[in-house]
Amino acid sequence: MNIHKKDIIIIGCGCIGLSAGVILLKTGDYNVKIWAKDLPPNTTSNKAAALWYPFLSEPLDKVGRWSQETMDYFKKEIIPLGVEKTGTLTKKVYELYRTPRAQLPEWSPFVPSFRRMKKEEMLDGYIDGFTVEDGFVMDTDQYMDWLVESFKALGGSIDQREVVDIREPFIYADIVINCSGLGARELIGDRLVYPSRGQIIVVDNTRDISLMDEEDEYQLGYVIPRVHNSVLGGTNQQHNYNLEPSKKDTEEILDRVAKISPQFERKNLKILGEKVGLRPSRYSIRLENEFMQDGRKLLVHNYGHGGSGFTVSWGCALDTLKLVRKGADKLKTSNKSDVPWYSLLNKRRSSSSCSFVND
């Protein structure tokens, strides 16, 4: 056991915070606690489809690398554990277009199994498309439960609490990781993060291949077969905070998926439910160090993953570990009594405590 373990607080218990927590704990160098306003199953992550495929997130070169690293991690550490445990299933992905694409996606050079679809693979009505043979899907509730269990099994702990002042977790730890997703808008005042509302329909039938019609990035049509059901989508409504499923969206999604293939016409589908989540969109995923309080505290940002949170989760978690190591080496020695706001926030300590394993 490393008796000099550093304490870390992660803000956020979605797929991003939990993946970062697992990677940090696996090193044996840190005590890790998650603070989160909402816990699974009430996070955006639980509302996702979720398919491994880079989508609606930037910058595309980094997204390509993080996506491939995530795929490698899934293949080595998660898929071998079995679908019953992790809710993760290997599935081919087809991204379909009705008009020719002049270019391959910018992220594609990072993914060796990416290729343009062959003519004989094309569905009626489509003339271009891409595929990733070894793609995979997650049944999000099952996968998120497994993530929580993995984090706890490694010694991590989770407190349900909202952070209203980013300085508060620094009372208890010199290193804080901000995985607050859309919450970063209020938590640190980052107005560059905004919601992209996604609505999905859960249906009972499962198919063999994930199909996505991405001709119009705001009027999406996709069918994602998971372990126990399939997900039909979707919407991409920017700056829309409505968390209630809309009847109009449901109707339009059903129309769009019926156009992908007659097998998805509504008479062939049994609707089990509808879900809405707000993707944490940003012009660029923010994964970087920020030093606070004259260099005595380290805030690592890991948020703004848009439509690819699951797809890049482990790649971003591995980079978070690198940032923590790099930042920790540069931290100046902390002297809590020097910190002017400490005494103010100290008042809260009596009512809301936080103890680490080493305390």
Ligand X SMILES: Cc1cc2nc3c(=O)[nH]c(=O)nc-3n(C[C@H](O)[C@H](O)[C@H](O)COP(=O)(O)OP(=O)(O)OC[C@H]3O[C@@H](n4cnc5c(N)ncnc54)[C@H](O)[C@@H]3O)c2cc1C
Binding of ligand X by 311 (CB under 6 A): yes
Binding residues among 217-236 for ligand X as defined by CB under 6 A: 234
87 lines the binding site for ligand X (CB under 6 A): no
**DSSP state for residue 217 in the 8-state scheme:** T
Given candidates 8, 9, 51, 148, which one binds ligand X under the rule CB under 6 A?
51
What is the token pair recorded at 111? 């993914």
**Host H or E run for residue 194:** strand 194-203
How far apart are alpha carbons 182 and 310 in whole angstroms? 15
From candidates 35, 74, 94, 136, binder to ligand X by CB under 6 A: 35
Q: Is 50 annotated as a binding residue?
A: yes
In whole angstroms, what is the distance from residue 180 CA to residue 175 CA? Answer: 15
Q: Is 49 annotated as a binding residue?
A: yes
Which segment (30-38, 80-88, 147-155, 287-295) binds ligand X by CB under 6 A?
30-38
**Interaction between residue 301 and ligand X (CB under 6 A):** no
Q: Which stretch binds ligand X (CB under 6 A): 29-37, 239-247, 336-344, 345-353?
A: 29-37
For residues 73 and 310, which CB has a smaller minimum distance to ligand X in the complex? 310
CA distances from 141 to 14, 48, 146, 228, 270 (A): 11, 9, 9, 11, 20
62: left (phi over 0), alpha (psi -120 to 50) or beta: alpha
Sole binder of ligand X in the list 9, 32, 50, 220 (CB under 6 A): 50
Interface stretch with ligand X, choices 33-41, 167-175, 258-266, 328-336 (CB under 6 A):
33-41
- Count of positions on this chain that bind ligand X (CB under 6 A): 41
Using DSSP's 3-state secondary structure scheme, residue 223 falls into strand
Residue span 176-195 as binding mask against ligand X, x where in contact by CB under 6 A, dash where not: ---xxxxx---x--------
Those residues with Cβ within 8 angstroms of residue 221's Cβ, 6 or more apart along the chain or in another chain: 212, 213, 233, 234, 253, 256, 257, 259, 260
Query: Binding site annotation covers 250?
Result: no
Give whole-number Cα distances, 329 to 27, 272, 296, in Å: 16, 51, 11
Residue (93 or 258) nearer to ligand X, CB:
93
Phi-psi group of 10: left, alpha or beta (phi > 0 → left; psi -120 to 50 → alpha; rest → beta)? beta
Q: CA dist 121 to 96, 108, 301, Å? A: 11, 19, 41
Q: Which stretch binds ligand X (CB under 6 A): 95-103, 260-268, 302-310, 332-340?
A: 302-310
Q: Is the dihedral of CA 294, 295, 299, 302 positive or negative?
A: positive
Q: Quick one: which of 135, 280, 315, 327 contacts ligand X (CB under 6 A)?
A: 280
Residue numbers at the binding site for ligand X (CB under 6 A): 11-17, 35-38, 43-45, 47-51, 162-163, 179-183, 187, 198, 200, 234, 277, 279-280, 303, 305-311
Binding residues for FAD: 44-45, 49-51, 163, 306-311
